[in-house]
A and B are shown apart, each in its own frame.
Chain A
Amino acid sequence: METTPKPVGPDLMALFLGFSSVGLSGFGGVLPFARRMLVEERGWMTAEEFNTQLGLCQFLPGPNVVNLSVVVGKRYQGVAGAIVAPLGMLAGPFLIVLLLAMLYDHFGSLPLVQGMLRGVAAAGCGLLFAMAWRMGAALRDKLLFLPFSVLTVAAIAWLRWPMPIVMVVGLVLAGGLAYWRLGRK
């Protein structure tokens, strides 16, 4: 059934190293780095394949880049690849983060460190607000769908309802509306 010959793919070591480089290069999200490595640098996927497969990774919950590494790993090395690729992505950053945690346990009570972390948290919040703004601006049919963003904020940030309930109700209502809307076009 295979009509297009598969390009000679990376072995397990190459998968591990490739995804390690992605995991270690990104700050505040590594997706752009994953794309650059997979599509531009190593040619493990075409741009089109990347977009389709990322579609599923973003459709399902969970960390998108980890999901993506599973897909690429499976494609070239089956089960072993699907385990090694996410391991490569996470191992380095995991160790760095634990090292930072140990430093925090020792020095976290110093006023200098507390001040620094406060500043980083504030700047981080600014980045999150900006991200929400940008995603909100990119929504299609804002008049229909932006109210769901507002309702989510009310339920989650203000009423403090548990997220599983909010997501199920939100997906049913917004999904139903989207389904109806798609049918009318």
Chain B
Amino acid sequence: MSLVIELFLEFVLLSLVAFGGATALLPEMHRVVVEHHHWLDDQTFTHLYAIAQAAPGPNVLVVALIGWEVAGLEGALATTLAMCLPMSVLIYLLIDRWEAFSGRRWQKAISLAVAPLAVGLIFSGAALITQAARLGLSAWLLVLTVVVVNLRTKWHPLWLIAAGASLGACGLL
């Protein structure tokens, strides 16, 4: 099977379980792209995640970066399309009926159930990136500082990203 088609199919599958958006999908993308197919190594995956963090736009575009590194422009288009198309079609078909099942007991139950799973997925994503990046003590201190500052202040996250970039560029991490 051609690489682009394989990439497309893997990301269609990913899109179907992307509860909590692309951020919650990080662990599974790592499992599929790095551990299963060996399309990228740990270091490149971490770098792509970092680039996506620093770039403007929807979080989902990290998949375009992954597609690009695996299979060039076709790869980037394949992963982005695969990620967006299936649910876009479904939502196009369902939106007019949404009012009818919004508020039903089973609908509320699923919404309640998704939330704790998404918390676990996002935590796992962060944990896996710290592992893949093989962070040292000083980098862990930065992680903790960012957690505290982000929870305690209203600073824009971009400042924290910029601080991380500067510290890293100075070779301190």
User: Do A and B assemble together?
Assistant: yes
A residues with CB within 8 A of B: 23-30, 52-53, 55-67, 70-71, 74, 79, 82, 86, 89-90, 92-94, 96-98, 100-101, 104, 108, 111-112, 114-136, 138-141, 145-153, 156-157, 160, 162-164, 167, 170-171, 174-179, 181-183
Partner of A93, one of B61, B99, B118, B120: B61
Q: A156-B28, A156-B124 are in contact. List 18 more A-B contacts (CB 8 A).
A: A27-B158, A55-B102, A62-B87, A62-B88, A63-B87, A66-B58, A71-B91, A101-B64, A122-B168, A124-B50, A128-B122, A129-B147, A130-B146, A150-B120, A153-B123, A163-B31, A171-B114, A178-B110
Question: Cα distance A171–B99 when bound, in Å?
Answer: 22
Q: A97-B64, A149-B119 are in contact. Are A123 and B18 (CB under 8 A)?
A: no
Main secondary structure, interface of B, reads: helix
**Please, which residues of chain B bring their CB within 8 A of the CB of A150?**
120
Q: A92-B57, A115-B170 are in contact. Are A135 and B158 (CB under 8 A)?
A: no
**Please, which residues of chain A bring their CB within 8 A of the CB of B71?**
none
Contact B111 A152 (CB under 8 A): no
**Please, which residues of chain A bring their CB within 8 A of the CB of B22?**
63
Q: A130-B147, A162-B28, A178-B108 are in contact. Are A149 and B123 (CB under 8 A)?
A: yes
Question: Cα distance A96–B68 when bound, in Å?
Answer: 13
List residues 134-173 of chain B with CB under 8 A from any CB of chain A.
Answer: 135, 139-140, 142-147, 150-151, 156-158, 160-161, 163-171, 173
Contact A63 B83 (CB under 8 A): yes
Nearest B residue (CB) for A65: B58
Task: Give the size of the chain B interface in residues (CB under 8 angstroms).
Answer: 103
Q: A163-B31, A167-B19 are in contact. Are A63 and B59 (CB under 8 A)?
A: yes
Contacts between chains A and B (CB distance < 8 A), count: 359
Main secondary structure, interface of A, reads: helix
Kindly supply a per-residue 1/0 record for chain B positions 58-95, scoring 1 wherever the CB is within 8 Å of any chain A CB and 0 otherwise.
Answer: 11110011001100010010001001101110111011
Partner of B126, one of A61, A74, A125: A125
Q: A25-B56, A71-B95, A148-B120 are in contact. Are A123 and B105 (CB under 8 A)?
A: no
